[in-house]
Amino acid sequence: MTSSPGLRILMRGEHSVRDDAIHPNAWKVLRRLHGAGHTAYLVGGTVRDLFLGRQPKDFDVATTARPNDIKSLFRNAFMIGRRFRLAHVKFQENIIEVATFRRESDRFEEPEEEGGKGKVLRFYGTPEEDARRRDFTINGLFYDPFLGNVIDYVGGLGDMERRLVRTITPPRQSYEEDPVRMIRAVRAAARLGFAIEAETHESILALRQLIMRCPKARLLEELLILLKYSSAERSLRLLWQVGLMEHLLPIHHAYLVRRNHIPLESARPDVLFDLFSMLDLDPSGVDASVLFALLIFPLHLDQAGIQPALFWQGRMGGGTLTAIEALFNEFATSIDAPKRFRARALEILSVQPRLYLRQSHIRPEKFAHKPYFWDSFRFFQIATRASDLDVTQEIHTWEKFEPKPAPPPRPHGPPAAGGSHVSSPDQHRSRHGRNRRHRRHGPGRPGDPPQNARPETPTTPSSPPVS
């Protein structure tokens, strides 16, 4: 281990990051940058998850290469952003985000100009400056895959050992700069099973109303991420405990208050948390419309005064649907839920009694072809499990109509040493994407297609990811 004021380095063998856990496409990007003479590290949540032995959901790279350099190195790189340009290096399986090391900008400071179309303004920096501008210490780690070193400028390794979520800058300053960081602190604690450090937690309690400054569309995006990755129940409980639910989901805050939950304290058992606990057991994920239906379902039960298990044994009259739609409209006042998701969520709830076959007279094979069937069935599985309703017979029937998964994409050849790509023969087709077939003359052999039949055109694969 190497240590100096503000810097701590764990060398290979002193940490748990495994190189074979790094996605091959991330290796291609890292090696291409390294081979061109640039420093290239894995960064942020990627390093955090690798350090903890978890599978990262994304692989992000930070480098000394400027955006124009990145673009010239990867023909499959697409530049995004205006003030701070990032590169999305697109592969068939995933996208690797590549960013230039940058520093926190001062609003009164003259930025450096980057040549090119539109004259983009950039604030470039060192790895240390890049680490210090990030949100939490556990997200400020770098991994040098060529030396095998984990590099820490911000105290993230200590907080990983103590299992704490802590802001890099003083928490009040951090939240005033970007109030969404309060939601992200909850998300990190919920996903990792960490605690929120005391000052970081107290500042959320004091500044939680700042969340109202954020655009509703951004709050929707953060909420949907919060309810993914098998940590939805803990996320909702933490939102309640730190007071953010009052501003992010005010209709649910009022619901829990009516049910005698005490604000800013640990929440007691409730059907709301039971539903998302069951969702967390399903690793395959669900559509946003199913999440909205799960959020509205306990509110409808409370408003109608019925027990969860009785919901599937009733009928969906016009008055019931109007009441549910009114709940969705109230929900949308704080979260910018698109109409298409709300409409599908309303369909999901409205057809639930039909899925309970003991009291339904529908034809399963016909109903299973409805466009809303699969999302409705996913909700049915989750909600009946949370309600302790025995629907084994129904589950067995409906699972027969589960769509078959698509076959995995055909590989284009193994990566060669150094991260270059070995093209398959299919990748050397003409620019117009088809292999010319010679017209057959004469009657042909038995079993051949008619001469005037259009030959089947093979699908053209995308260009090699890295060239």
Which pLDDT score is estimated for 248?
A: 96
Which pLDDT score is estimated for 315?
A: 76
Question: Which residues, 6+ apart, have CB-to-CB distance to 214 below 8 Å?
Answer: 179, 180
Partnered with residue 90 across adjacent β-strands are 95
pTM: 0.80
Question: Which residues, 6+ apart, have CB-to-CB distance to 416 below 8 Å?
Answer: 422
Residue type at 465? P
Which pLDDT score is estimated for 250?
A: 96
- Please give the C-alpha separations between residue 117 and each of 110, 120, 124, in angstroms, as whole numbers: 19, 8, 18
Which pLDDT score is estimated for 119?
A: 44
Which pLDDT score is estimated for 3?
A: 54
Question: Which residues, 6+ apart, have CB-to-CB distance to 80 below 8 Å?
Answer: 86, 87, 88
Determine contact, residues 89/77, Cβ cutoff 8 Å. yes
Name the residues annotated as catalytic: 58, 60, 135
Is 1-160 CATH 3.50.50.60?
no
Q: What is the DSSP letter of 415?
A: B
Q: What residues does each domain of the chain span? A: 1-160, 286-399
Low-confidence ranges of the chain (pLDDT < 70): 1-5, 105-122, 404-467
